[in-house]
Structure 1
Amino acid sequence: MNAQTSAGWLCILCLFFLIPFCQGQMTKPAFSHLSVDEGLSQSSVYAITQDRKGFIWLGTRDGLNRYDSRQVVVYRNQPTRRKNLPSNTINALLHDSQGRLWVGTSKGLALYKSEGDDFERISAQGLPDSTILSITEDRRHRVWAGTSKGLYQLEGPKPYRLKPLRNYTYQRTEPSHPNTRALFEDRQGNLWLGTSLGLTQLKVRTNGQFDVQDYFLQPADSVYHNLSNGINTIAQDPQGRLWLGTDRKGIAVFDPRLGRISSWNPVPGLDLSTQTIRTIQPDRSGHFWIGTLSGLYVVASDGSWFKTLTNEPTDAESLSDNSVRSIFRDRDGSIWVGTYYGGVDFYSPYARQFGSFGPLGETFKIAGPILPSIDGRQIWLGTEDRGVMLINANRSVARHYRHDPKDPNSLSNDKVKCLLAEGNQGLWIGTLKGLNYLDLRTQVITRFLHEPNNPHSLPNDRIYDLKRDTQGKLWILTNLGGLCAFDPKNRSFESYVPRAGQHTSLSSRNATCLLLDYQQQLWVGTTSGLNRKLPGRDAFVRY
């Protein structure tokens, strides 16, 4: 295809994708989704953070997950290993200023050790296997852990250990209730605790100790606690007020100038007074994202507007589940929403301009592959959950290929990850459940799937990338199956995976990206480093 044709298609693509963006501000965010279908260990996402390398870490009810935008690596408690997670229930995550990842579980705190890809369990004074509910780091780089039995401060590192708050407070005083659900440091350096009984302030004295002050939404009606006083999350607005997400009383506000908590409705027309508020997260614009049991709300900090976001069965870009458990803003300003039943949803305010394209009035999510046809008159689109489409310049659909469970000659899966043209003869289609070849002359699709008892089948069905070298060899990047090459004569696959004691083998099965450079050298990126395949040899150089 010549440069003039390429430029023409670039203009068409701009019309496809930019026109909806230029028509005005988006009325609602468009979410991408990461669920158990894409490798997430479990659908309830309790905690989210991001490390220095850009990996997103997701804590669930059944394991810790590391996501690199292409694949998920799962960590679970393994009773036979000493250096592993204390529990599979992950309630809290913190990536601190020193680059350490702290993991709060239902049976204590752990530190992720990247050099061994394992975990160090942290002992606690008088805290055997206590549930970690929250973790934060203050401006003095002290790490605090809120537990079901009170607040603890981390000391160490030789060894790391948790010590109870009473060791650091004036006259060894403690908050009114030990169950510390939320931790937050305000702009003045005060540490605030959300507990089952209300709000507690830790104010630093000149001698380094803390004064403890409790505040209540309403008088406690029980010696133990009043559910209406429970505070799950804390945030601060530009006016210095603390927004408090409560158990059953919606949002309360604490004004430091008045020194008291009051019930509050942040926006006229939005009634959250009986809602359970699980999490509040400000975005870069200062708007507050509020997660509840029945949906997500975006509220302007000045109270001028709000948006209600819920699951819409007919909209693939809506919230995956209405029960929101966690919200996190990454370093790029994107918002991650952890739900209870639907995994995690992702929204980038900058990616929407190239987000969706709706031929014939239909809206769907483009997964990434966009490939001009050989004659330059059409484009192939790989979608997130609608298979493959051949699109005309006037937006009409010329061909649509989808999975049909009753038709073995249909696409093996509708979640498309990569496309590779075979001249004008055919099209290779990589999906999350197999490799497919579409014969454009006969319109027949041939599936290639992993067969457990066949070493010459695909090593894994999750296909992430496809490349063809000048020798005609097709290279296939798989998730957890490493790299493989397809032999068209024998219709078989040759796998390249790590082999014990062989330093010239691929460094990891967790392959993430594939590049064929201008010298026809094949480069493979993995979670354990970069690999260059030696030409004509079944060997790699590791970097």
Structure 2
Amino acid sequence: MKFKIALILFVFVFGNLFSQNKYRLKNFSTTDGLSQSSVIAIHQDKFGQMWFGTRDGLNKYDGSRFTIFRNDVNDKFSISNNDILAIEEDNSGKIWVGTYNGLNCYNPISNRFTRYLHTKANHTISNNAVWSIREIGGEMWFGTSKGLTIFNKKSGLFTSVFHSDDDASTLPSNNILSILRTKKGEIWIGTTKGLCQLISRKNGKLSFKNFPLNTTDLLNVQSVIEDKEGNLWIGTKNKGLLKFDQKEKSFVTFLSNEKYSEINTDIRSLIIDKQGSLWVGSYDGIYILGQDKSLQKINNSNNSNGIDKVKSIFMDKKGSIWIGCYYKGVNLWDISNVNFSNYNQTSKKIPMSFDVVSSIISDQNDNIYFGTEGGGITIYNKKSEAVSYINSKTGQTHKNDIKAMSLSEDHILWIGTFSKGLSAYNTISKRIEDNRIAPDLTDLLKESGVYSLKAENKILWIGTFGKGLIRYNTSDKTFQIIGNDISKPTFLTNNMVRSILIDKQNSIWLGTQNGLNRISLQNFNPKKYKIQHFFYDHSALSGDDILTLFEDSQNKIWVGTKARVYIILMEKNSIKLVLKLEIPLSLLFTPF
């Protein structure tokens, strides 16, 4: 496994290499753990967890795995129905969930749902199909298939408001699909027969003003949002995207007829991103309307199925956009993905020799070396954009399974392989020079994996998978093994050395499969030295599996393990734990 932070650092350093795809999306589907592939509602709670409502269950996503909530006929504290329509968190941290059969309030502390169902009694929710939820003041507002219901959290009472053919100040329809509270506190309601604004609330009576598009057409309003200028954007099922000027209280033109006709007429969801662009989720996909009136339809280049039948769009606290689709799961756009392009064996610009890349390094001549686990090394020159290879196909080497690389000051690229030991490549002459390796060392490593390398002056430190650490002097071709012999006073905590770091204080850190080791290189004597052990239990002879090491600009050492990240600082002869991050494995590592 490789620590993703390393790859992120690489891409930002060499970001100018990569073509920019502004709207590359990541897809989550049932194969990733989603309960069902139609995502109708999306929300993010105060802890940053994402909630997805599908046609078969409520999903909580913590960045690593999905937790699914479904109805259990034998559990009265389970959710009332699996067909989820709306999700909203209130200011106390409770999650309100609207379904096709009942309103639910989830308490994350007790892990229980409280059900609110329509009955013939007074002060119950007006209908069991709950399409929209908003917290306004100290109340919860619910749009249902038969009226608007307001829940007072203090009194615990529901009050419902309905359409009446005999009163023009009532709702235009009982089927409420969207609720919006503007920055000024105005409340707008989108129904299947029009858009209206709450204009008064006296003695329990709510009065509304209807704003029709014209005298003949009824608006089926599916989504309403407000932009920073205070304009309303309305997504309708039958009239496409509309813009409403709140100052003039009228619908206004925002695009030419030709460009406007490009947008599908069935608009399900709207969101405005942090750059001020309007994301329009429609029956046939996503449109993005820029502040400069540019219009772009996007497709997911990472998903051959594309994006269509969009039902929900949500912007999280980071500014990432989540897009829920019928039948195609949920897609995530994150601005950090702008800096990344994917290169594989079929890429035109940099066709990789193999798709599993285990190590990356660059030289002073603008060459970038990609070590792969099956295709040798792919070399890309940033200036000429030429691509070349070192592998069995080019006849230069038979060692295709690359695990580690390190470049020495004399322009030798040292190459560690999965099962065929060590190799040396002269980056000037462009030739393999394995004669630089002592025959005894070649024999020692011929059936061993070399998982980490660090060239420093004339010394090459070799981390092996089973034979410990090897200190190789490339000048006189002598070497020394530092291993896991607990009978000796100085020993490695494990012979499987995954990572090597030489810090600014001239100490070498060794991440093993069983703990972290440190050796001071100040006045290093190969015959007499000390090894310090960290994240290792001497009584149990066990420790953390250390996968990667990194030193930041403040001399802090980042230690990546299978379960967490430690940030440590060396003080005298001991370490100070600065921070411990319990981060899901799937967020930190990519399997190899």
Q: If the length of structure 1 is used for normalisation, what is the TM-score? A: 0.63
What SS does the aligned partner of 2:339 have? helix
Cα 1:88–1:349 change in 2 (3 A) is same
Residue by residue, what CA displacement relative to the aligned partner does 1:229-260 show, whole Å, maximum 9, x if unpaired? 20101122344221111112111232233334
Q: Give, as a single letter, the amino acid of the residue that structure 1 aligns with 2:563.
A: L
Cα 1:162–1:426 change in 2 (3 A) is farther
Residue by residue, what CA displacement relative to the aligned partner does 1:396-454 show, whole Å, maximum 9, x if unpaired? 67789xxxxxxxxxxxxxxxxxx999x74359xxxxxxxxxxxx9799xxxxxxxxxxx
Residue by residue, what CA displacement relative to the aligned partner does 1:361-387 show, whole Å, maximum 9, x if unpaired? 26899xx997427999954679xxxxx
Q: 2:67 aligns with which of 73, 91, 96?
A: 73
Q: 1:361 aligns with which of 348, 359, 362?
A: 348
Measured after TM superposition, the shift of residue 110 of structure 1 is: 0.9
What SS does the aligned partner of 1:269 have? helix
**CA separation in 1, counterparts of 2:71 and 2:148?**
25
What SS does the aligned partner of 1:91 have? strand
Measured after TM superposition, the shift of residue 292 of structure 1 is: 0.6
**CA separation in 1, counterparts of 2:77 and 2:390?**
55
Q: 1:93 aligns with which of 87, 95, 101?
A: 87
Q: 1:148 maps to which residue?
A: 145
**Structure 1 position 425 matched with structure 2 position 414:** no
Residue by residue, what CA displacement relative to the aligned partner does 1:65-92 show, whole Å, maximum 9, x if unpaired? 1112222111111111111111111111
Measured after TM superposition, the shift of residue 286 of structure 1 is: 1.1
Q: Give, as a single letter, the amino acid of the residue that structure 1 aligns with 2:269.
A: T
Q: 1:431 maps to which residue?
A: none
Q: 1:240 aligns with which of 230, 234, 237?
A: 230
Measured after TM superposition, the shift of residue 198 of structure 1 is: 0.5
Gaps spanning 5+ residues in structure 2: where?
381-386, 393-402, 406-415, 421-445, 450-491, 499-512, 515-560, 569-574, 585-592
Q: 2:478 maps to which residue?
A: none
Q: 2:44 aligns with which of 40, 50, 58?
A: 50
Q: 1:202 maps to which residue?
A: 198
**CA separation in 2, counterparts of 1:381 and 1:205?**
68
Q: 1:514 aligns with which of 542, 557, 563?
A: 563
- Count of residues in Structure 1 that have an aligned counterpart in Structure 2: 403
Q: 2:101 maps to which residue?
A: 107
Q: 1:460 maps to which residue?
A: none
Q: Give, as a single letter, the amino acid of the residue that structure 1 aligns with 2:267.
A: I
Q: 1:350 aligns with which of 321, 336, 349?
A: 336
Q: 1:341 aligns with which of 327, 330, 333?
A: 327
Cα 1:266–1:104 change in 2 (3 A) is farther
**CA separation in 2, counterparts of 1:289 and 1:110?**
29
* Maintained 8 Å contact 2:42/2:87: yes
Q: Give, as a single letter, the amino acid of the residue that structure 1 aligns with 2:132.
A: S
Cα 1:118–1:326 change in 2 (3 A) is same
**CA separation in 1, counterparts of 2:148 and 2:173?**
10
* Maintained 8 Å contact 1:28/1:307: no
**Structure 1 position 308 matched with structure 2 position 306:** no
Cα 1:273–1:57 change in 2 (3 A) is closer
Gaps spanning 5+ residues in structure 1: where?
1-5, 221-225, 383-387, 401-418, 428-439, 444-468, 476-484, 487-511, 528-543
What SS does the aligned partner of 1:153 have? strand
Q: 1:35 aligns with which of 21, 29, 37?
A: 29
**CA separation in 1, counterparts of 2:339 and 2:360?**
23
Alignment of 1:90-489 (within 5 A): 90-124=84-118, 125-127=123-125, 130-138=128-136, 140-156=137-153, 160-165=156-161, 174-205=170-201, 210-219=206-215, 229-261=219-251, 265=255, 269-272=259-262, 275-303=265-293, 305-310=294-299, 315-316=301-302, 320-357=306-343, 360-361=347-348, 371-372=358-359, 378-379=369-370, 392-394=378-380, 424-425=417-418, 470-471=493-494
**CA separation in 1, counterparts of 2:214 and 2:189?**
17
* Maintained 8 Å contact 1:155/1:162: yes
What SS does the aligned partner of 1:284 have? coil
Q: 1:63 maps to which residue?
A: 57
Measured after TM superposition, the shift of residue 218 of structure 1 is: 3.5
Q: 2:536 maps to which residue?
A: none
Range that drifts further, 183-192 or 388-397: 388-397
**CA separation in 2, counterparts of 1:289 and 1:317?**
19
* Maintained 8 Å contact 2:563/2:583: no
* Maintained 8 Å contact 1:150/1:178: yes
What SS does the aligned partner of 1:193 have? strand
Measured after TM superposition, the shift of residue 114 of structure 1 is: 1.0
Measured after TM superposition, the shift of residue 130 of structure 1 is: 1.4
What SS does the aligned partner of 1:351 have? helix
**CA separation in 1, counterparts of 2:228 and 2:496?**
59
Alignment of 1:486-497 (within 5 A): none
**CA separation in 1, counterparts of 2:148 and 2:62?**
33
**CA separation in 2, counterparts of 1:353 and 1:198?**
43
**CA separation in 2, counterparts of 1:43 and 1:473?**
42
Cα 1:425–1:273 change in 2 (3 A) is closer
* Maintained 8 Å contact 2:127/2:146: no
Q: 1:506 maps to which residue?
A: none
* Maintained 8 Å contact 1:136/1:183: yes
Give the % identical residues.
Answer: 27
**CA separation in 2, counterparts of 1:381 and 1:320?**
30
Measured after TM superposition, the shift of residue 190 of structure 1 is: 1.2
Measured after TM superposition, the shift of residue 207 of structure 1 is: 6.9
Q: Give, as a single letter, the amino acid of the residue that structure 1 aligns with 2:274.
A: R
What SS does the aligned partner of 2:564 have? strand
**CA separation in 2, counterparts of 1:363 and 1:204?**
64
Measured after TM superposition, the shift of residue 137 of structure 1 is: 1.9
Q: Give, as a single letter, the amino acid of the residue that structure 2 aligns with 1:337.
A: I
Q: If the length of structure 2 is used for normalisation, what is the TM-score? A: 0.58
Q: Give, as a single letter, the amino acid of the residue that structure 2 aligns with 1:283.
A: D
Q: Give, as a single letter, the amino acid of the residue that structure 2 aligns with 1:352.
A: V
Cα 1:380–1:336 change in 2 (3 A) is farther
Q: Give, as a single letter, the amino acid of the residue that structure 2 aligns with 1:514.
A: A
Measured after TM superposition, the shift of residue 280 of structure 1 is: 1.0
Q: Give, as a single letter, the amino acid of the residue that structure 2 aligns with 1:328.
A: F
What SS does the aligned partner of 1:37 have? helix
Residue by residue, what CA displacement relative to the aligned partner does 1:138-188 show, whole Å, maximum 9, x if unpaired? 2x2422110001111122357x45321369xxx996302100011111222
Higher Rg of the two aligned structures: 2
**CA separation in 2, counterparts of 1:148 and 1:330?**
28
What SS does the aligned partner of 1:243 have? strand
Measured after TM superposition, the shift of residue 353 of structure 1 is: 1.3
Question: Aligned Cα RMSD in Å?
Answer: 4.5
Q: Give, as a single letter, the amino acid of the residue that structure 1 aligns with 2:214.
A: Q
